[in-house]
Amino acid sequence: MAQKMVFVNLTVTDVKRATAFYEALGFVKNDEFSNETSSGMMWSESIWVMLLSHDFYRQFLKGRDIADTQSSSGALTAFSFDTPEAAKHFAETAKANGGDYFQVDMGIPEELMVGYEVIDLDGNQLESAWTKGY
């Protein structure tokens, strides 16, 4: 059986700028799946974030509108980290490269779980998370 993969597709206004942002976060660009309208950014061998220009993304919508991710959210994708410090570093790196982050108090002790809500340059929201034992 072939390995299962996850491709998270995000709309971006500037593919080059978004690619640099995600590279700063630790994603690796796969040149075979990248061009002027999209960048295939690898989190791992089985988890990718596809950064798609609005024109390219629109082809998959069959007439539907692209969400304005600066003012609304349609998805929240979480990425796991090995340590709480690594999850925080991801969030701080996002902010240092033009994004932002914040934390939500879920009432869970930090020795069990840590999470940061990360906003990229286009308003797409990610989460960097660490959970004890997972």
What does the pLDDT look like over 82-112, one tens digit per residue?
999 999 999 999 999 999 999 999 899 999 9
Q: Which strand ranges, in their side-by-side order, compose the sheet holding 28-35?
A: 6-12, 47-53, 38-42, 28-35
User: Are 1-58 and 76-134 equal in CATH topology?
Assistant: yes
Identify the CATH homologous superfamily for domain 76-134: 2,3-Dihydroxybiphenyl 1,2-Dioxygenase, domain 1 (3.10.180.10)
Fold of 1-58: 2,3-Dihydroxybiphenyl 1,2-Dioxygenase; domain 1 (3.10.180)
Place of tokens 């629109």: 58
pLDDT digits (tens, 9 = 90+) for 28-54: 999 999 999 999 999 999 999 999 999
- Per-domain residue ranges of the chain: 1-58, 76-134
Task: Provide Rg for the chain, Cα atoms.
Answer: 15
pTM: 0.90
Give the whole-angstrom CA distance, residue 39 versus residue 30.
Answer: 7
Distances from the Cα of 31 to the Cαs of 19, 35, 50, 98, 128, in angstroms? 11, 8, 12, 24, 25
97 CB-contact burial (10 Å; exposed 0-12 / middle 13-18 / buried 19+): middle
